[in-house]
Amino acid sequence: MPTAEETLDEILKLAAAHFKVPTEKLHPDEDFFKTLGINSLQTLDLLTKLENHFRVELPDYELQGVSDFRTLAGKIQARL
Amino acid sequence: MHERKSETTLLEHGSANALSWIIADGVIELALHREPCNELGSSSLEEFEKFATALQLMQAEAHALIIYSEMKAGFCAGADLRELYQRSRTMEKSEASKGVRDFLERIHRVFNLIDAAPLTTIAAVHGVTFGGGFELALACDLIIADKMARFCFPELRLGLIPGFGGIPRLKRDLGNAVVRDLLLTGRSFNATKAQQIGLASQVVSEGEALRSARATAAQLGKFDHATAAAAKKFIKPIPLEELRREIDLFCELFARPAVEVGLRKFVESTDAQPYLP
């Protein structure tokens, strides 16, 4: 099983590739809605990407209010 | 016979704002293309009714129907809630309730025709397949899902239940516990999960759902049309009584003030997950 830091790193890489931004532009504790400027449909896309990549199921209500990559990584890590 | 043939020729393709269709080699393809994500409102319904009429004329010459979306965001985001909200605000309560019932009766007629059509129907879905969009896919015989497809019944957030036949059809196809999970939590789930629970027959790579649906339709064309239609009729009953009760329950719930509050919250929401309460 990957460590929490490895999971976080993977998420940052995935998000950067998916939204076509440099990885260094994304920071673990920043609000990714603001950084990426994503809307609700793009949020769903990201959720599906993460579920497919990590082979987990993330009920979206558990992600309500989650807006930074570190907290998101914690939610995924809990299901690995 | 000649007259019917020319009528059919006229219906070999049709095009309007929300959808268009074409028939070729025994396969009808219905493309959905209303911005932003094929929301089902009154104008879409009129076009679906035209398609339903055409389908009844075309189905003798077709063995398959594929429904897909040309919108990037997904297959269909469900009912046009903005239109519903506007109407519920501007109309008298009784008039709005009557309008809702009329809309439901009409969309049920269309979905029931698709459900029972004597040809094999395939929903090729990607992205958002929510609410009424999910219900349209459930009316089809097979769901072929792009791996980025996402399904959801978010209606409870509005104080409603799915109204386009979703619960009876989901219950027909899946176990009651799964139906309760999807309905009562209102959570969305991906194509892999849809396949695990027996909802999606195939999960394919991004952008491949329509191609796979076409390959499946070509395969279906090798079977005797009448046999396939008889097999479908035997295995796929239309839950008419439950569909009727669903309309009644939806209308009963729609009359409550909580619905207008839920609709307003959704319409005015700038939240990243507006489909969640």
Report yes or no: B177 and B272 within 8 Å, Cβ to Cβ.
no
The answer to whether the Cβ–Cβ distance between B272 and A33 falls below 8 Å is yes
Q: H or E element: which one contains B125?
A: strand B120-125
Q: Does B178 touch chain A (CB under 8 A)?
A: no
Output the six-digit token pair for B246.
């669903």
Residue in A41, A45, A60 closest to B187 by CB = A60
pTM of the model: 0.91
Q: Which residues of B touch A76 (CB under 8 A)?
A: none
Question: CA-based angle B232:B235:B239, to the nearest 5?
Answer: 100
ipTM score here?
0.87
Q: Are B113 and B50 in contact (CB under 8 A)?
A: no
| Chain centre distance of CA B269 | 25
Is any Cβ of chain A less than 8 angstroms from the Cβ of B268?
no
Closest CB from A41, A43, A52 relative to B190? A52
- Chain B's closest residue to A38, CA to CA, is B272
- Give the integer Cα–Cα distance in Å for B67 and B135: 13
A41·B128 Cβ contact <8 A? yes
pLDDT tens by residue, B200-223: 999 999 999 999 999 999 999 999
Give the residue ranges of chain B where pLDDT is below 50. Answer: 1-6, 8-10, 277
Q: What is the pLDDT of residue B85?
A: 86
> Are the beta carbons of B187 and A61 separated by less than 8 Å?
yes
